[in-house]
Amino acid sequence: MWQYVKKLQYPVNIQRKDLKMAKALLAQYGGPDSELAAALRYLNQRYTMPDERGYALLTDIGTEELAHLEMLGTMIYQLMKDATIEELKEAGLAGHYAQHGKALFPTDANGVPFTSAYIEATADFMADLESNMAAEQRARAVYENLMNQTNDPDVLAPLSFLRQREIVHFERFKELRDYYLQKYPKNT
């Protein structure tokens, strides 16, 4: 069980509108390596971990990914706040606006809707942990690509925080994988 604290894990306080950056951030909101995909992946995989250590880690990281999704939603909303329809069209968000107005909806940066196909779960705990390590590395790379697209310190600070969390998650999954290599050698 976890307790929800009604504040973001890292403060988001973006002052300048940037619709192109908002669109780019959708990659981590509803794309294949997004925070949403990671949260659902880990929260589903936890049931087939061989012991409480794995179950607990995937629960912890999965719920933290939901906190990251909340941060990204806040960032996207703040970057789009007060945008006109013409500005949304200019930024390539006309289709999004037509279907969702200025509401958030899980898509990637190209407007492709989130799909459950992004949620990997094999019931092979070693395969899932290896996949999770790779997913964290892909998400880190996406954050670096996003950081390369802005010089706004109000956007860079939370992106840097989120990038660092991907590295920490990779390390935690690697530690668990290494522990399981010793504890369950027949599964490798």
Q: What is the pLDDT of residues 8-32, one digit of tens each?
A: 999 999 999 999 999 999 999 999 9
Q: At 2, is the pLDDT very low, low, confident or very high (cuts 50, 70, 90)? A: low
Residues 6+ apart with CB under 8 A from 2: 59, 63
CA angle 18, 21, 23 (to 5 degrees): 110
- Enter the pTM of the model: 0.94
Chain position carrying tokens 């995909």: 37
pLDDT computed for residue 185 by the predictor: 86
> Could you give the CA distance from residue 151 to residue 155 in angstroms, rounded to a whole number?
8
The conformation of residue 109, written as its DSSP 8-state character, comes to T
CA angle 60, 46, 37 (to 5 degrees): 75
> Could you give the CA distance from residue 42 to residue 44 in angstroms, rounded to a whole number?
5
Helix (H/G/I), strand (E/B), else coil: 13: coil
Q: Which fold has domain 19-187?
A: Ferritin (1.20.1260)
Closest CA to 133 of 117, 145, 120: 120
**Domain ranges (residues) in the chain:** 19-187
pLDDT computed for residue 1 by the predictor: 56
Contact 105, 99 (CB under 8 A): yes
Q: What Rg, from alpha-carbon coordinates, does the chain have? A: 18
Helix (H/G/I), strand (E/B), else coil: 12: coil
Chain position carrying tokens 């996003």: 146
CA angle 85, 86, 90 (to 5 degrees): 115
Tens of pLDDT along 114-127? Answer: 999 999 999 999 99
Q: What percentage of the chain carries pLDDT values higher than 70?
A: 98
* pLDDT above 90: residue 49: yes
Q: At 61, is the pLDDT very low, low, confident or very high (cuts 50, 70, 90)? A: very high
pLDDT computed for residue 186 by the predictor: 80
